[in-house]
Amino acid sequence: MKFANPEFFYLLFIIPLLILNYIKRRKGANIKFSDLQVLKEIPPSKSLKYKHCVFILRLLCLILIIISVARPQLCRTEGEILTEGVDIILAVDISGSMQAEDFKPQNRIKSAKQVIREFVKGRKNDRLGLVVFASQSFTQCPLTLDYGTLLSLLNQVNIGMIEDGTAIGMALVNCVNRLKDSQAKSKIVILLTDGVNNCGKIDPITSARIAQAMNVRIYTIGVGKKGGAPIPVDHPIFGKIYARNPDGSLLLTKVDEDTLKTIANITDGKFFRATNERKLSQIYEDIGKMEKTKIKVKEYMKYKEIFGYFLFPGILLLLAEIILANTRFRRIP
């Protein structure tokens, strides 16, 4: 609470002066009688102990009226949040190689989904979308502020949804197409893959140049430990086995770092290499810090006048004083 006219509180100095004057008058008050013997036989009135209440009412009335003219106000701070949002498309490779088990205790796709969940939960005021790809690419979730729906659709992402392959170029074109009508200050694609482009009608470099023309920045993440990892596959008879080359050797995953670096450079993005889940989590955290939403808060104060809460009781006390002073506690002239 604040007071718009606090200078009126100087009037409160009148209160002690009134009290001193009241005490002085009470001491000096007397009535002359020739004989007091008769008065001594009159019992004192029960209301005598309330003889000061009229004066007290007057003081309270004066105090309340002074407070009311000082204009007490209740203050409330309100804010208006102005944001410059970021539109982000998360492009996730769901080819068969993402089943590689070098991200212990999970495989690559499960680790990637877990890290992306945490990334989504850490965003505010940004629109996020999800594109998945293997031999083809499709939008799993368009740009949205409904993070709950996005996370639900992310949970439904599994290897095998699309025919196996790695169409990085087509995935990027799909992402750019989702961002082309965006009015956001920043338009971002975070591409996560563990392979080499081997499908699609558009190559990754051409896609990157299209993104550059649309002012879309691409962060690329190469997933997998150095030297690659074996790829588990389900065999109808032997169960889980590992994919092999035609010569019988183990087929190991391979990340095309050169292409991913080129894509990032063309679009003014950055390339990252994730060799385990902890590193992958750190990468998404770093990207999140680089692409923070700008938030401006405009604050203003709202005031509510509450002088009535003091003025009306003061008036009531004034009326009570007038009534009591002219009835029950009426003074003899």
Q: Give tens-digit pLDDT for 174-194.
A: 999 999 988 888 899 999 999
Half-sphere exposure of 287 (CA within 13 A, CB side): 34
CA distance linking residue 272 with residue 198, whole number of Å = 21
Mean pLDDT of the chain: 85
What pLDDT is attached to residue 34? 56
36 vs 240: which has the higher pLDDT: 240
Question: For the residues 112-141, what does the mean pLDDT come to?
Answer: 94
Name residue, tokens 């994919």. 243
Average pLDDT for 28-33: 55
Q: Rounded to an integer, what distance in angstroms lies between the CA atom of residue 168 and that of residue 177?
A: 14
Mean pLDDT lowest for which of 6-10, 22-26, 75-79, 142-146? Answer: 75-79
The more confident residue out of 173 and 13 is: 173
High-pLDDT (> 90) share of the chain, %? 45
CA of 159: how far to CAs of 45, 92, 99, 100, 113, in Å? 99, 11, 8, 12, 12
- What confidence tens digit (pLDDT) does each residue in 200-253 have? 999 999 999 999 999 999 999 999 988 888 888 877 776 777 888 888 788 888
If one counts every other C-beta atom within 10 angstroms of the C-beta of residue 104, the result is 9
- DSSP H or E run through 132: strand 127-133
pLDDT tier for residue 41 given thresholds of 50, 70 and 90? low
Q: How far apart (Å, rounded) are the C-alpha atoms in residues 76 and 1?
A: 9
* Predicted pLDDT at 13: 87
> Lowest-pLDDT range, 10-24, 151-165, 209-223, 299-313?
299-313
- At 74-111, the pLDDT tens digits run 877 665 655 667 899 999 999 999 999 888 888 999 99
Mean pLDDT of 151-161: 94
Whether this prediction's pTM lies above 0.75 is answered by no
By C-alpha distance, which of 320, 242, 306, 333 is closest to 54?
320
- By C-alpha distance, which of 55, 93, 163, 179 is closest to 128? 179
Mean pLDDT of 305-327: 82
Instruction: Provide the percentage of residues in the chain whose pLDDT is more than 70.
Output: 85
CA-to-CA distance for 301 and 288, rounded, in angstroms?
33
pLDDT given at position 262: 97
If residue 240 lies in a helix (H) or strand (E), which one and from where to where?
Answer: strand 239-242
